[in-house]
Structure 1
């Protein structure tokens, strides 16, 4: 069989023929079967995906943190006040425990504020794109595209080919993800929901722009994810895919009390050889304990990365 014919015949070639794949395909087939009792109109076929640990690797540290470190290293030699900040020093020393200390992770929020605000949205996008061009994963030595999950990229395409609209709903920065979401995942900027701060309109020398401020930070994680979905989409998703306790509320909002057929999916990192193996004790972020415990009673699919995926990371 010619390779293109094989791909056309199997839209999910990196998914082994096991329970996870079968349940996903069965769900898509029933909600797209016109005339069936479980048919869902295209306008209601909303699928939401977490990003870190769901669409790309979040170990040994979240990818956005690499951008933060890149910016701090770039700026610190020219900005003494920045270099003297205790949280900047902790970040540059790799002291992630200090950044993550406390319930509100004040240190992490501090370095995010320093590297993600105070510039126009256009300038921020240019900085992200410049960082992305030189990014290499510390273990795999690969660029951004090569640390995305091939099975998830296939799933995004499969859903869109069946009339779904796919959104990213992540704790990561919305403007950060919008710089590459279309290129990596086929998700346009307007379908990316993430953490934000206020922006303000500025007009200088006849040029209009938006400046990123540090006011009113919205952290799109845990209980805030359903809020962000409602405010940005205005429809309840029929499918939600995540990998951590931070995604539990999003999966619950999708599957509990939904007037339409719905599906919740958790990606369980079980493959230390091809990626990483963790759940309750992740390297930095992505703790999966509570959501994993309630998954059976909720009817959610738990994807075993080692067993369910024949390929994991996208080819170099």
Structure 2
């Protein structure tokens, strides 16, 4: 609140005009839960299981064999190559409209295995309040996430109040073609084009926003370059980390986690004096009240 007051008070040495009040947020683990696996990965796994009857050979092919047998260690062992194979099998040939429909319908019925709630209810109440507070003070809020742009855009506006054009994420190749009905359509190729994580986050900010943000919020080492980039700006800025240390109300993880690992970033935050928000100590509430 002190930072917002400084950058919004006209006449202040730290005043930043509204058009330059850009705030960027990671999504997975920063705005909603990312354990025990990224929500988009859960969606892709469900897609593979639904498509499996059409592909009997998958029973003997990794990473599909691991998915069908619920052996996530086998899936993880296939690495990025396995994830790209999953992406291709789940999305290739779908129109962007069909993909949007698929994601929307899945989110309406899917439930988190631990909390038994829709994933869009497992967003963080304090972060929703922060997004609203910033926008009320003239900030433009963006998502800069390793998650897929097409996966996030169908639901983020209703959930976070962030319009789809302010969502920057990983992208895959899409091809324009005219359908047999004479109508144009965009076809997903199932090939990853850009992974918006790590060093690519500042690249994406420069490419799609074109302004240096003055606030950045993340939760993992994958967000560290974004925080380093924003903290280097010439204007007054604020960068923050969310530390998952509440096993009772959510999850406790940092340096050894397979998802949302926070190791080097935690050290850098302490070294530079960046605020580290403790979910356990600083948040009265984690998730919104059940709808």
SS at the partner of 2:277?
A: strand
Q: 1:298 to 1:118 in 2, by over 3 A?
A: farther
Conserved in 2, the CA contact under 8 Å of 1:98 and 1:107? no
Q: 1:216 to 1:64 in 2, by over 3 A?
A: closer
Distance 2:42 2:190 in 1: 20
Give per-residue Cα distances to partners, 1:71-96, cap 9 Å, x unaligned. Answer: 11111113334555321111233333
Partner of 2:130: 155
Partner of 1:306: 280
Distance 2:59 2:163 in 1: 36
In structure 1, the gaps of 5 or more residues are: 1-24
Distance 1:186 1:30 in 2: 24
Map 1:18-167 to 2 at 5 A: 25-101=1-77, 105-167=80-142
Distance 2:25 2:282 in 1: 18
Distance 2:199 2:193 in 1: 15
Conserved in 2, the CA contact under 8 Å of 1:100 and 1:106? no
Give per-residue Cα distances to partners, 1:186-242, cap 9 Å, x unaligned. Answer: 111111011111211111112111111134521110001111111111111111100
Give per-residue Cα distances to partners, 1:136-163, cap 9 Å, x unaligned. Answer: 0110000123211000011111111111
Distance 1:68 1:228 in 2: 24
Q: 1:109 to 1:216 in 2, by over 3 A?
A: closer
Q: Name the TM-score, length of structure 1 as normaliser.
A: 0.88
Map 1:201-240 to 2 at 5 A: 201-204=176-179, 205-215=181-191, 217-240=193-216
Distance 2:58 2:97 in 1: 22
In structure 2, the gaps of 5 or more residues are: none
Distance 1:306 1:69 in 2: 31
SS at the partner of 2:226?
A: helix
Q: CA deviation at 1:65?
A: 1.5
Distance 2:69 2:101 in 1: 26
Q: CA deviation at 1:300?
A: 1.3
Alignment partner of 1:169 out of 127, 139, 144: 144
Q: Number of paired residues?
A: 289
Alignment partner of 2:271 out of 297, 300, 307: 297
SS at the partner of 1:198?
A: strand
Distance 2:120 2:289 in 1: 8
Distance 1:264 1:175 in 2: 27
Partner of 2:158: 183
Partner of 2:238: 263
Partner of 1:315: 289
